[in-house]
Amino acid sequence: MNIVGKVINGYLFEEALGSGSFGAVYKVSKANKIYAAKVLSETYILDEFKHEQNRITREIDVLKTVKGENLIKYQEDFYFKNEFGVLEYVIVMEYFVGETLRKYLKKDVALDVLVKIFINILHGVSDLHNTVIENEGIIHRDLKPDNIMIDDELNVKIIDYGLSKIIDFSSITSTGTQIGSPLYMSPEQLKDSKHIDYRADIYALGIILYEMLTKNIPYRAATLPELLMKILNDPIIPPKQYNPNISDGIENIIFKATAKEPFARFQTIEEFIDAFNKKDVQDELVTLGKYYAWIYREKDVTEQFEKENNADIIYPIHVQNWMKKLHQHFADNNFENVIIDPSTQRLSYVAFGNTKGLVELPYAPDKGVISLEYLQNPQKRAAYIDKWYATVSMGRKVILPYHYISNTDYPVEKVDEWIRMNIQLIDESSKVVGDEIEKYAMISIGLGHLVFQAEKILSYFVHANVNGFIVQVSDMRQLNEQS
């Protein structure tokens, strides 16, 4: 059916812009104003909504309600009968003269300009997320470079929100790639697309930022099944491997946005935007030439160490009841230059199950050994964190709860689960602590994991909202023998 040159409902259909399985998109005009019109066949609508009454009305309500300078605006919608007597459905939207971000990225654009463009994209998604329909904000669900438009003045428009599940406007500008939208889908969206929240969009935005700054995708995959497996299981390739001009701060933003677990990402678009307003990580690094030392010594030895060294002391809290003079010494000095170690890594080992100082800790389980299954219980984990903080809160600097990644009491396949649990503990305990005291994430790791899985470990931990990291490496004798 050709409707170019016809006037329908007052709109002159001037030019066909493209077509897809849903129907077609036209450039139309009315009262000397230009618009874009999406025309959907009744058959398509009935097929898409046969099990969902009033769904089309709800989706149109989204289009009507959303406002924002970086979002394509809704004009109106209506039905008409075509020359064969078949009902067609038309959605009229703002017409934006520009090109897709996908096409724009083929140009040579300065990194700082790309970052500014991306921040404008974030503001558009923020407008979307903050628009409430039926007590819920709007999730785009299909963010990708094909659904973002940009003009010669670097103005940005996000398209295909609202009807993104059913009207894939990006098919008009498809590059023909076999990978397509799945690249931008979060792990949880691949597993269950119906039960996702804003953080799926945040993941997609992280992948978009990666692509903008590197001109590459974050996974090496020859087939779609291989890509999906890597999205679910593998860390992204560090962006600086493709573009060494990316700052550490920007790379950390990408790592955080693309974290596998939703809780490890930015929790809101506003938080994502704020990350760009902070000083670059390179500016915040301080090298004082000091080091950290574990103290298991008596008070006089500790005092001598403090006089001779400009170093923070890591104090394992489980010794407090049998080294009372040492504990009192730290308390008398208001725990100045003391980082309190909660000794939680020892709780996950049967070998320490009878260690008196450990089993007396308020957050130690009844049997003295903490299991992965124990921590996976939300109520038990919350109580664990609360008791931990009550025990260490007198300190000015604390290590957040952590456990060995390579845990010898568990099969190898449990390692990734322990990693995810450590990340979750870092995230949840960090929120309990707030910003009142310094907080450190500790990584206890076997040499093998450090040498052979450094990128994976980095991608998991780099997002953490902490003041610093302390890495404890086992099997160092093996490293010395090899060097």
**Per-residue pLDDT tens digits for 230-266:** 998 888 888 988 998 998 889 989 998 998 888 888 9
- Decide if 77 contacts 92 (C-beta within 8 A): yes
Helix axes 198-214, 248-257, angle to 10 degrees: 140
The answer, yes or no, to whether residue 355 has pLDDT greater than 50, is: yes
pLDDT at residue number 308: 64
Percentage of the chain modeled with pLDDT above 70: 74
Question: Tokens 């700052």 sit at which residue?
Answer: 247
Instruction: State pTM to two decimals.
Output: 0.64
Backbone angles phi, psi at 121, to 5 degrees: -60, -45
As given in the structure block, the two tokens for residue 288 are 């004082």
Q: Supply angle C-alpha 218, 223, 226, rounded to 5.
A: 65
pLDDT at residue number 104: 95
pLDDT at residue number 87: 81
Range of weakest confidence among 17-21, 368-372, 391-395: 17-21
pLDDT at residue number 254: 92
Most confident of 163-172, 241-250, 343-352, 404-413: 241-250
Domains and CATH numbers, the chain: 7-94 (3.30.200.20), 99-283 (1.10.510.10), 286-482 (no CATH)
166 or 432, which is more confident: 432
Average pLDDT rounded to a whole number, residues 146-164:
82
Q: 71: which DSSP letter?
A: B
pLDDT at residue number 284: 40
Assign 3-class secondary structure to 33-63. EEEEEEEEEHHHHHHHHCCCCCHHHHHHHHH
- Decide if 255 contacts 218 (C-beta within 8 A): no
As given in the structure block, the two tokens for residue 29 are 């005009």
* Strand pairing report for 312-316 and 292-294: parallel
The answer, yes or no, to whether residue 305 has pLDDT greater than 90, is: no
Backbone angles phi, psi at 399, to 5 degrees: -95, 130
With cut-offs at 50, 70 and 90, classify the pLDDT of residue 217: very high
Average pLDDT rounded to a whole number, residues 182-192:
90
**Per-residue pLDDT tens digits for 259-268:** 888 888 899 9
Q: How far is CA 169 from CA 25, 62, 100, in A?
A: 8, 17, 11
Cβ burial of 47 (10 Å; 0-12, 13-18, 19+) is: exposed
pLDDT at residue number 384: 93
Average pLDDT rounded to a whole number, residues 90-112:
92
Cα 214 from chain centroid (whole Å) = 18
Q: 211: which DSSP letter?
A: H
Helices (H), 309-377: 324-332, 356-359, 372-375
CA distance 218 to 182: 13
| Residues 391, 395, 396, 401, CA torsion sign | negative
Range of weakest confidence among 40-49, 101-110, 307-316, 466-475: 40-49
pLDDT at residue number 173: 32
203 or 285, which is more confident: 203
CA distance 262 to 264: 5
User: Checking phi first, is residue 31 left (phi over 0); if not, alpha (psi -120 to 50) or beta?
Assistant: left
With cut-offs at 50, 70 and 90, classify the pLDDT of residue 285: very low
pLDDT at residue number 296: 57
Average pLDDT rounded to a whole number, residues 336-364:
81
**Per-residue pLDDT tens digits for 15-40:** 998 776 567 889 999 999 999 998 88
304 or 111, which is more confident: 111
Select from 130, 123, 114 the least CA-distant residue to 157. 123
Rounded to the nearest integer, the mean pLDDT of the chain is: 79
pLDDT at residue number 219: 92
The answer, yes or no, to whether residue 156 has pLDDT greater than 60, is: yes
* Strand pairing report for 438-446 and 397-399: parallel
Helices (H), 285-394: 299-308, 324-332, 356-359, 372-375, 378-392
Select from 118, 192, 182, 127 the least CA-distant residue to 148. 118
With cut-offs at 50, 70 and 90, classify the pLDDT of residue 176: very low
The answer, yes or no, to whether residue 353 has pLDDT greater than 70, is: no
Q: Supply angle C-alpha 262, 265, 270, rounded to 5.
A: 120
With cut-offs at 50, 70 and 90, classify the pLDDT of residue 171: very low
Q: Which residue type, as a one-letter code, is found at position 158?
A: I
pLDDT at residue number 292: 60
CA distance 344 to 385: 11
Range of weakest confidence among 93-107, 256-270, 455-469: 455-469
pLDDT at residue number 470: 82
Most confident of 183-197, 212-226, 391-405: 212-226
